[in-house]
Amino acid sequence: MPEQQAALHQAMETQVVNIAKSGIVCALPARASILAAANPIGGHFNESKTVAQNLKMDGFLISRFDVVFILLDRANKEIDTYLSKSVVAGFGRRKRRIAEIVEDEEAECPIEEILKLPLAARLRQYGKRLSPHDLLSIKLLKKYISYARKNIHPILSEEARREILDFYLHLRQQSLEGIPVTVRVLESMVRLSKARARLEMRELVTTADAQDAISLMRATLLEARERGDQEERAVTQSQSSQNQSQQGRRGRGRGRGGKQQMIRTFLAELQERARRENNDVFRRGQLMEIARGMNWNLDPDGIDQLNNAGYLLKKGPQVYQLQAL
């Protein structure tokens, strides 16, 4: 599995798949949108663990997805009523409208008021106003998406650019334990904003597009942050009940902290050399020599661990590319 994840990582990072088999060496383009679904190990999501631990998937691969949503089966009267009636309706007459399945007890909001609502509330209101004439056929929807992707290429307005940058800088200043807020988050928000504008056939990304993208990103990050807080509380309770083992854990924590600090220093040195030499590709011998200059014994297994963690990307035999941090 680690080898397969590394292959997926290269395809998602560089959008190229390198093949070296039966004397054939080539690089194939792999440009595609990826929509993936996964079930947690053990059959249920353990809220005391991170997403990567629940899926038994390395974090560097998960970080390549723009948004990651966690769907939990929690008791909710409104959702449970909707789901149960939808299932029962499937055994009745065919092609029954959704509006006939769920009784809408709330009054419909005017369209002007709906446009002022947050993204989640807006989508719920749109769903309540659906009629058979509003639904597109799959054939027409495919043509619509194909045309938009081919002919519509939005650019960011100054207001949208400022909105995205302000939110990104806000995330960087916050302490999101266990959640890396890197340039990839900024790129994800830009892609989501452009996709939102492309959906409406517009060449300019507006502030509303940026705010919808931020809402998606905030939902993803806050969900992960809540899981991190729950995990931290569980660890704190466990430590308070075991005073003797607490000192041992602190010692190991300092050891891990020293190694993490060494890795950060090593990566900073690689970044400086890449900037100075205008080349972010290093051979294995170069990496080991740079580490020795820092009094760090970096062996080939350690380089493979940096590759699996997403700091380096293996480009060929003993050749690695430094990734953006």
pLDDT value at residue 238: 45
Stated as kind and residue range, the H or E segment containing 202 is none
| 162-207 pLDDT per residue, tens | 999 999 888 887 755 445 677 888 888 999 999 999 998 999 999 9
pLDDT at 242 over 60: no
Distance CA 315, CA 176 (A): 31
Radius of gyration of the chain (CA): 24
Q: Which residues pair with 134 in a beta bridge?
A: none
Distance CA 282, CA 318 (A): 9
| 287-311 pLDDT per residue, tens | 888 888 888 888 888 888 887 777 7
End-to-end, the C-alpha distance of the chain in Å comes to 25
CA of residue 117 relative to chain centroid, distance: 25
Closest listed residue to residue 272, CA positions, set 322, 198, 212, 310: 322
Name the range with the highest mean pLDDT among 219-223, 224-228, 278-282.
278-282
Query: Is the CB of residue 285 less than 8 Å from the CB of residue 38?
Result: no
Q: What is the mean pLDDT of residues 12-18?
A: 81
pLDDT band at 158 (very low <50, low <70, confident <90, very high): very high
The more confidently predicted of residues 108 and 60 is 60
Angstrom distances, CA of residue 33 to CA of 22, 38, 93, 149, 299: 29, 17, 36, 12, 36
| 108-145 pLDDT per residue, tens | 556 556 566 667 666 666 666 666 666 778 899 899 99
| 33-45 pLDDT per residue, tens | 888 888 888 777 8
| 248-264 pLDDT per residue, tens | 444 444 455 567 788 88
Name the range with the highest mean pLDDT among 53-62, 227-236, 274-283, 310-319.
274-283
pLDDT value at residue 103: 44
Output the pTM of the full model. 0.57
């749109």: which residue's tokens? 126
The half-sphere exposure of 134 on its side-chain side, counting CA atoms within 13 A, is: 9
What does the mean pLDDT of the chain come to?
A: 76
Which residue intervals of 68-182 are DSSP H helices? 77-89, 98-101, 111-114, 119-128, 138-151, 158-173
